[in-house]
Amino acid sequence: MSQDFLKDPLSLFSVKGKTAIVTGATGALGAVAAKTLAAAGANVVVCASGADKLKQIAAECAALGGKAEAVAKRPSSEANCDAIVQAAVGKFGGVDILVVASGQNKVSKIVDQKPEDFLDVMDANVTQSWLMSRAAARQMTKQGRGGKIILTSSARGLLGHPAGYTAYCASKSAVDGITKALGCELGATGITVNALGPTVFRSPLTEWMYADDERAKTVRAGFLTRVPMGRLGEPDDLAGPILFLASKASDFYTGHILYADGGYTAG
């Protein structure tokens, strides 16, 4: 058995010169993924619907040392997913890494939720993950050099929630199913398929939970009774798992959900 990696163990985590597609790049998780990979030397194709904010993310990636291309599309159709992949091929010659960080939630008790809202969440989180994985897997298979597909799960794919999360929990459980099935399906090709499952981490949507007012303190205290590490997450808590899943370090790791949650799902 070769142990060449011992000569330079850090090389296992290198993504230098690789090409990554990141959907939902203007969101909290997508921005972390794009900037982490760019700072590590990857070429990054950032995708989202908001063109102005997307250009800002691309500029930040370039400032960190990576080459960046902005594609103002969501993975909301087969045509869009194919166009995103072809943009990466045209600009950088191929696709090595896919991070699907796009998605949404519409919180509502089941007795009040409109069926179309449930279906919107399922489409954004499940169907679009499937479509984007399909487009990337086709290109990676054609290239014949393996690849990394990273989907976005959640602690809510494993655990329920009392506050109107039936659509979200169902969608993330489905993402887990895609991750496991696709990990099996693509295993022999050298393409790994895994999902990152965070819980609460600092973002524009969760910033209120980090505040010092009484409401935030009460909600935070209740939540932290379930978190063994005793704190809420930060964006840099996700950087390491993303780099692991995107690099050679995870070559024998597929079909798994990696929970970056401070131990929340262990309790």
Would you call 57 helix, strand, or coil by DSSP?
Answer: helix
As given in the structure block, the two tokens for residue 139 are 């290109």
Residues 154 and 222 occupy one common structural domain: no
Please check the confidence at residue 82 and state whether its pLDDT lies above 80.
Answer: yes
Kindly state whether residue 176 falls inside one of the protein's structural domains: yes
The confidence score (pLDDT) of residue 242 equals 98
Q: What is the DSSP letter of 109?
A: -
Residues 169 and 219 occupy one common structural domain: no
Number of H helices, E strands in the chain: 8, 7
Band (2; pLDDT cuts 50, 70, 90): low
Do 35 and 61 meet the contact criterion of CB atoms below 8 Å apart?
A: yes
Domain total of the chain: 2
Token pair 């063109």 is at which residue? 51
Could you list the residue range(s) of the whole structural domain that residue 86 is in? 15-198+237-259
Residues 111 and 211 occupy one common structural domain: no
Higher-confidence residue of 162 and 84: namely 84
For residue 247, the domain's CATH number is 3.40.50.720
Share of the chain above pLDDT 90, in %: 87
Average pLDDT over all residues of the chain: 95
Do 179 and 256 meet the contact criterion of CB atoms below 8 Å apart?
A: yes
The confidence score (pLDDT) of residue 5 equals 78
Q: Is 165 among the residues known to form the active site?
A: no
Q: Which of 168, 210, 253, 264 is catalytic?
A: 168
The answer to which of 44-48, 152-156, 201-205 has the lowest mean pLDDT is 201-205
Please check the confidence at residue 182 and state whether its pLDDT lies above 70.
Answer: yes
pTM score: 0.95
- Is residue 6 exposed (0-12), middle (13-18) or buried (19+ Cβ within 10 Å)? exposed
Task: Looking at the chain, list the stretches that DSSP marks H as alpha helix, in order from N- to C-terminal side.
Answer: 28-39, 51-63, 78-92, 115-122, 128-143, 166-186, 214-224, 236-246
The confidence score (pLDDT) of residue 1 equals 45
Beta-bridge partner residues of 195: 151, 257
The confidence score (pLDDT) of residue 6 equals 83
Q: Per-residue pLDDT averaged across 221-231, rounded?
A: 94
Kindly state whether residue 108 falls inside one of the protein's structural domains: yes
Angle 18-174-219 from CA coordinates, rounded to 5°? 95
